[in-house]
């Protein structure tokens, strides 16, 4: 699904008689922290948040996976996909029609998508959602059992809870991404794709080396839907090479 321009939202202005500013300001209520006020203002004025509401997606993150797939084309009809840390379900919503897991297009191969999370997630039509800690022993075998075989795509928008310390948060999300990559090595079919969120910060070098040793191509991308003031980026590793068996 390609991004649709949002008239009037990017500039914060609308045309017409008496052109006016649409920026929403939030008053600081008693007991509300300034950081909460600024976060709420950012949410109310974020065009991707508004677009997600208008188009029925569960969060602005849906547009990140759209952009990545539009560029690299890994969500193909018939693909078997694993979405790690799938709450609230926005990535599932995007993937379902693209891989045709709901069977809505009888002329295309029907895919399958498994969403995993530590908490219950509201159902998404065309997707299977399971409560599972992907770090647990046997998680890879369980995932392949649910999929009925190996995966074509493993994707993750997971992030560790913020500590407020930039370097600590960077190290935590890199560790989470490395763990997700290890699961991907166990469940991906040859030629498969791994997509995951990371935070730039200097500690991702080992992760990059590991991915380059197992995939034909590794790209680092900051989608337009990622906030400009965030260090967030995504690694897209394509062409998985399973280890040779002697």
Tokens 């969403």 belong to residue? 115
229 carries a ligand binding annotation = no
Domain count along the chain: 2
Q: Which residue is listed with tokens 């290890």?
A: 182
186 is annotated as contributing to ligand binding: no
Q: What is the pTM of this model?
A: 0.79
Q: What CATH number is associated with residue 217?
A: 3.40.50.150
In this structure, the answer to whether residues 149 and 207 fall within a common structural domain is yes
Any residues with CB less than 8 A from the CB of 161 and at least 6 apart, and which?
none
- The pLDDT value recorded for residue 184 is 98
DSSP 242: P
Q: Which of 39, 55, 71 is the last residue of a domain?
A: 55
**The predicted structure's pLDDT at residue 210:** 94
Say whether 70 counts as a known binding-site residue: no
One pLDDT digit (tens) per residue for the chain, 246 residues: 444 443 333 333 333 333 333 444 444 455 555 445 544 455 455 677 888 888 889 988 999 999 999 999 999 999 999 999 999 999 999 999 999 999 999 999 999 999 999 999 999 999 999 999 999 999 999 999 999 999 999 999 997 766 677 777 778 888 999 999 999 999 999 999 999 998 776 667 889 999 999 999 999 999 988 877 777 899 999 999 987 654
Per-residue pLDDT, 22:
41
> Does a structural domain hold residue 154?
yes
Q: Which domain holds residue 39?
A: 24-55
**Whether residues 194 and 226 fall in one domain:** yes
Instruction: Tell me if 94 is assigned to some domain.
Output: yes
Q: Which residues contact 86 (CB under 8 A, 6 or more apart)?
A: 92, 115, 116, 117, 121, 129
**Using CA atoms, how far apart are residues 110 and 77, in angstroms rounded to an integer?**
6
Torsion of CA 21, 24, 25, 31, to 10 degrees: 180
Q: Of 149, 146, 150, 174, whose CA–CA distance to 160 is shortest?
A: 174
For residues 46 and 161, state if they share a domain.
Answer: no
Would the annotation count 140 as a binding residue?
no
* Pair (212, 165) in one structural domain: yes
* Residues with catalytic function: 197
Residue 177 counted as domain residue: yes
- Residue 146 assigned to a binding site: no
* C-alpha–C-alpha distance, residues 246 and 236, integer Å: 29
Strand partners, 199: 232
């Amino acid at each position: 699904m390609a991004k649709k321009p949002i008239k009037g939202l990017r500039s914060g202005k609308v045309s017409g008689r008496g052109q006016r500013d649409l920026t929403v300001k939030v008053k600081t209520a008693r007991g509300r922290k300034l950081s909460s006020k600024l976060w709420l203002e950012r949410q109310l004025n974020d065009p991707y948040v508004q677009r997600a509401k208008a188009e029925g997606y569960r969060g602005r993150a849906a547009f990140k996976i759209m952009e990545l797939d539009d560029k690299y084309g890994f969500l193909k009809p018939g693909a078997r996909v694993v979405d790690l840390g799938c709450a609230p379900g926005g990535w599932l919503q995007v993937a379902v029609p693209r891989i045709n897991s709901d069977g809505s297009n009888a002329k295309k191969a029907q895919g399958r998508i498994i969403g995993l999370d530590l908490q219950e997630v509201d159902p998404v039509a065309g997707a299977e959602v399971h409560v599972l800690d992907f770090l647990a022993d046997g998680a890879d075998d369980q995932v392949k059992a649910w999929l009925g075989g190996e995966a074509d795509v493993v994707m993750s928008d997971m992030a560790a809870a913020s500590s407020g310390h930039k370097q600590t948060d960077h190290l935590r999300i890199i560790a989470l991404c490395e763990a997700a990559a290890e699961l991907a090595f166990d469940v991906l079919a040859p030629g498969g794709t791994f997509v995951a969120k990371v935070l730039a910060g200097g500690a991702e070098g080992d992760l990059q080396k590991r991915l380059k040793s197992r995939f034909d191509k590794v790209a680092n991308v900051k989608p337009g839907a990622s906030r400009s003031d965030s260090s967030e980026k995504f690694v897209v590793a394509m062409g998985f090479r399973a280890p040779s068996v002697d």
